[in-house]
């Protein structure tokens, strides 16, 4: 059952409890049995003092995986974006980012509130890629005899709002070169970078190594119960650890329990992402055959599906309420756009069920 949300208060369906079929996000799904078993075997140390061997193992593993000198285990990827901006002292500077990116919209301007930076938004293409010349122009833009300093350039891979679209290694390298030519750091919001690597069939480090620092999630596609990992140079991570202590982000008591599940996720869940992508494609193709729903199949590259309701004559919120009455949860993104996320806990039968629900409520 659902609780109807007032359209003028919140543009989402509010649920009393977990939906029966939740396609809003990956993070509302259960960890695997092997993750629970790994957690039960751990005797945790004091991770904030560097005394937990499982946390150290995870940090070393992710640093090697991403091609960086060091890494820091954090509760969330949002912690990582905040710390990256604070550690690189972007106060009073502009931070260039794609106009629909997660950092700007979902994280509620935290880089301004906490790091004192001014977001400089550039609208990307349908894959979330900003034009290189537009970035160059933003760096050099001058008015009233003043050129605002640029403290950082941010990329998001995959791009959430555009439907899980990917940025290629070549594009990432080109942006990194442009940034470094101007003495600017490149930050990668890589919450779903594992999905991007699988979709492009490249090593993770091909997408992460060009960036100066990055953050990735263990509990989106990989399904761990907790954790983001901030990666970069040893100097950068050491500075970020001091800031994390001051901000209350690093004192995860019994962190080894969650790190153990994170190691299982890193070592066993990566290959399964291809199945999530396959199911997302099948879901997208099925939805494209329902009158009134429209989507760009070229942007269905990973595990997310972005769908427009414009042709149905009803809003995305109204459709969300209709499918909720059948136990299906979807994520309203815009007045006439919703998103769905596929993950290890959603199988082919559930994809078929979701398609049947959409067909029924739009008949």
Co-location of 228 and 340 in the same domain: no
Is the Cβ–Cβ distance between 302 and 199 less than 8 Å? yes
Q: With 70 as the cut, is the pLDDT of residue 187 above it?
A: yes
Q: What are phi and psi of 275, to 5 degrees?
A: -65, -35
In the prediction, which pLDDT does 248 show? 85
Last residue of a domain, one of 268, 301, 318: 268
Q: CA-CA distance, 86 to 110, in Å (whole number)?
A: 11
Residues 37-84: tens digit of each pLDDT: 999 999 988 888 888 999 999 999 999 999 999 999 999 999 999 999
Last residue of a domain, one of 252, 268, 284: 268
Q: Which whole number is the average pLDDT over 310-320? A: 96
The enclosing H or E element of 77 equals helix 77-87
In the prediction, which pLDDT does 4 show? 44
304: left (phi over 0), alpha (psi -120 to 50) or beta: beta
Co-location of 145 and 201 in the same domain: yes
Last residue of a domain, one of 221, 253, 268: 268
Q: How many CB atoms lie within 10 A of CB 7?
A: 12
What rounded mean pLDDT belongs to the chain? 94
Which residue do the tokens 């290890």 mark?
344
Distances (CA, A) of 154 to 64, 122, 317, 320: 22, 11, 30, 32
Co-location of 190 and 177 in the same domain: yes
In the prediction, which pLDDT does 252 show? 83
Would you place residue 126 in the very low, low, confident or very high pLDDT band (cuts 50, 70, 90)?
very high
Higher pLDDT, 10 or 242: 242
Q: Which whole number is the average pLDDT over 342-362? A: 97
Would you place residue 233 in the very low, low, confident or very high pLDDT band (cuts 50, 70, 90)?
very high
Domain total in the chain: 2
Residues 206-232: tens digit of each pLDDT: 999 999 999 999 999 999 999 999 999
Q: CA-CA distance, 127 to 209, in Å (whole number)?
A: 21
Q: CA-CA distance, 268 to 223, in Å (whole number)?
A: 10
Residues 127-165: tens digit of each pLDDT: 999 999 999 999 999 999 999 999 999 999 999 999 999
Output the domain CATH number for residue 80.
3.40.640.10
In the prediction, which pLDDT does 8 show? 39
Co-location of 16 and 38 in the same domain: no
Q: CA-CA distance, 202 to 103, in Å (whole number)?
A: 25
Q: With 80 as the cut, is the pLDDT of residue 246 above it?
A: yes
C-alpha torsion angle, residues 80, 81, 83, 85 (rounded to 10):
160
Classify 16 as helix, strand or coil: coil
- Taking alpha carbons only, the member of 206, 135, 137 closest to residue 169 is 206
Co-location of 129 and 263 in the same domain: yes
Co-location of 160 and 58 in the same domain: yes
pTM confidence score = 0.94
Co-location of 163 and 277 in the same domain: no
Co-location of 304 and 237 in the same domain: no
Q: Which whole number is the average pLDDT over 297-320? A: 97
Q: CA-CA distance, 205 to 207, in Å (whole number)?
A: 5
Q: With 50 as the cut, is the pLDDT of residue 3 above it?
A: no
Residue ranges making up the domain that contains 281: 2-30+272-361
Is the Cβ–Cβ distance between 57 and 263 less than 8 Å? yes
Q: What are phi and psi of 230, to 5 degrees?
A: -95, 130
Co-location of 173 and 25 in the same domain: no
Q: Dihedral of CA 254/270/37/344: which sign?
A: positive
- Both structure tokens of 97: 């980012």
Residues 92-124: tens digit of each pLDDT: 999 999 999 999 988 888 899 999 999 999 999
Output the domain CATH number for residue 299.
3.90.1150.10
Which letter does DSSP use for residue 319 in this model? Answer: H
Co-location of 144 and 56 in the same domain: yes
Count of alpha carbons within 13 Å of 245, Cβ hemisphere only?
Answer: 9
Per cent of the chain over pLDDT 70 is 97
Q: CA-CA distance, 334 to 210, in Å (whole number)?
A: 33
Q: With 60 as the cut, is the pLDDT of residue 7 above it?
A: no
Q: CA-CA distance, 332 to 249, in Å (whole number)?
A: 30
In the prediction, which pLDDT does 250 show? 80
89: left (phi over 0), alpha (psi -120 to 50) or beta: left
Co-location of 353 and 227 in the same domain: no
Co-location of 80 and 211 in the same domain: yes
Q: With 90 as the cut, is the pLDDT of residue 298 above it?
A: yes
Q: CA-CA distance, 223 to 9, in Å (whole number)?
A: 31
């Amino acid at each position: 059952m659902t609780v109807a949300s007032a359209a003028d208060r919140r543009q989402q369906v509010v649920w009393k409890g977990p939906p029966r079929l939740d396609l809003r996000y990956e993070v509302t799904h259960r960890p695997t049995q092997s993750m629970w078993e790994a957690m039960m075997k751990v005797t945790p140390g004091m991770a904030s003092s560097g005394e937990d061997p499982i946390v150290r193992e995870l940090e070393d593993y992710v640093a090697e995986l991403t091609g960086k000198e060091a890494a820091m285990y954090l509760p969330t990827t949002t912690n990582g974006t905040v710390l990256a901006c604070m550690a690189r002292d972007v106060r009073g500077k502009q931070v260039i980012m794609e106009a629909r990116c997660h950092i700007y919209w979902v994280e509620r301007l935290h880089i301004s509130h906490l790091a004192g930076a001014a977001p400089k938004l550039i609208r990307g293409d349908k894959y979330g890629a900003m034009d290189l010349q537009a970035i160059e122009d933003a760096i050099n833009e001058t008015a009233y005899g003043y050129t605002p300093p640029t403290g950082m350039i941010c990329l998001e891979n995959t791009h959430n709002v555009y439907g899980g679209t990917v940025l290629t290694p070549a594009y990432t390298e080109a942006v990194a070169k442009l940034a470094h030519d101007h003495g600017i750091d490149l930050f990668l919001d890589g919450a779903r970078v594992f999905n991007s690597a699988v979709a492009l069939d490249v090593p993770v480090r091909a997408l992460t190594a060009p960036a100066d620092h990055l953050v990735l999630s263990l509990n989106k596609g990989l399904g761990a119960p907790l954790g983001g990992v901030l990666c970069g140079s040893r100097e950068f991570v050491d500075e970020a650890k001091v800031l994390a202590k001051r901000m209350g982000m690093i004192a995860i008591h019994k962190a080894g329990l969650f790190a153990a599940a994170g190691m299982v996720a890193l070592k066993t869940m990566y290959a399964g992402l291809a199945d999530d992508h396959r199911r997302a494609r099948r879901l997208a193709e099925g939805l494209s055959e329902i009158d009134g729903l429209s989507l760009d199949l070229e942007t269905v590259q990973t595990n997310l599906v972005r769908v427009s309701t414009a042709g149905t004559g009803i809003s995305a919120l109204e459709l969300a309420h209709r499918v909720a009455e059948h136990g299906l949860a979807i994520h309203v993104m815009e007045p006439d756009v919703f998103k769905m996320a596929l993950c290890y806990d959603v199988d082919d039968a559930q994809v078929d069920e979701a398609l049947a629900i959409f067909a029924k409520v739009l008949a």
